[in-house]
Amino acid sequence: MPGTSYPTTQRRYLNDTYLYDISSTILAVEPMPPDTSAGSNKMPYFGLVIAETVFHPQGGGQPSDVGRVVGENGVTFFVDNVRVGENAIIYHYGTFQHEMSENEDGARCIPFRSGEKVKLEIDAARRRLHARLHSAGHALDVAVLRLGLELRPTKGYHFEDHPFVEYLGRLPADKGSSERLIEALTLKIQELIEEDIATELYSTSKAEAASILSGGVKDVAHFPEGAQVRLVSVGGNICPCGGTHVKSTKELRGVEITRIKTKKNVTKISYRISKEGKERQIS
Ligand SMILES: [Zn+2]
């Protein structure tokens, strides 16, 4: 029920981007306000709390996974949105496949019960695409560093429609026009792809994370004292991140820089994965 405290959801996707399904236990099924938006199918909307999850919630510039949760009796719940609530509890929002029956009092009989074993399955193609789009943002940071640009990443948007990274700082005049920089950054990303650099994950204390990161303590200032910090190295550049990542930079084939725009002291670099790159099988 709303306000009830559940254990923190175990995020199984953190250690394996390519884990697409697991079995776990329903902790709660919370009815949500009806969706009254245009195009809604008006099916009752619920938020599932599950002990463990493979669903990446929306956040950190990444969209949420979608997929389904299947109960012991084959009852299917379609997950269309995943968010983090209080106490790091993850809510899986969506609808049941079929209309629910009603009991004698006219109340709906919710098909899942607390304690029931369920199977969670995500849309694997969407997961792989979003891991590549997000990891491409990390690769762009490395390309910026390798070109010696004094830009500090502040914000990432890794959705399929016009992904970008925003940096604090301006482009130096002696580095040439934005067209030449677009080409130079794309070449640096190409270099990273050819180098086939493995992604590495570390979980460490806040103090140790601060000493590892070149940016110092300000990179982890927002973590609570005593928290474990997840550090990720993509293309050899370490930063704190809770997203989903490719195993190696070689999976970023097809990433291209599309646009660079500076406004005041913020430089926005947009990128995409080419159609050919999207269709390429991950080897
Ligand atoms: Zn990341």
Distance 34 CA to ligand 1 centre (A): 34
Q: Do 109 and 62 contact (CB within 8 A), yes or no?
A: no
CATH 3.30.420.40 assigned to 127-199+245-279: no
Q: Which fold has domain 10-122?
A: Elongation Factor Tu (Ef-tu); domain 3 (2.40.30)
Amino acid at 261: K
ipTM reported for the complex, 2 dp: 0.99
Residue with the bigger pLDDT between 225 and 180: it is 180
Distance 138 CA to ligand 1 centre (A): 7
pLDDT tens digit string along 83-142?
999 888 999 999 998 877 777 776 777 889 999 999 999 999 999 999 999 999 999 999
Average pLDDT, the chain: 88
Percent of the chain with pLDDT over 70: 89
In the chain, ranges of CATH 3.30.980.10 domains? 127-199+245-279
Residues near 186 by Cβ (< 8 Å), separated by ≥ 6?
255, 256, 257
The CATH 2.40.30.130 portion of the chain extends over 10-122
208: confidence class by pLDDT, cuts 50, 70, 90: confident
Task: State the distance from the centre of ligand 1 to the C-alpha of 61, rounded, in angstroms.
Answer: 9
The answer on pLDDT for 283 being more than 50 is no
| Between 1 and 189, the higher pLDDT residue | 189
Q: Report CA(241)–ligand 1 centroid distance (Å).
A: 5
Torsion angle (degrees, nearest 10) of CA 23, 27, 33, 34: 40
CA-based R_g, the chain, Å: 21
For 38-74, how does the pLDDT look when each residue is reduced to its tens digit (9 = 90+)? 565 667 889 999 999 999 999 989 999 999 999 998 9
Q: Is the pLDDT score of 25 beyond 50?
A: yes
Q: Tell me, in angstroms, the distance from the centre of ligand 1 to residue 152's CA.
A: 15
Quick one: pLDDT at residue 209? Answer: 84
Cα 242 to middle of ligand 1, angstroms: 6
Helix (H/G/I), strand (E/B), else coil: 160: coil
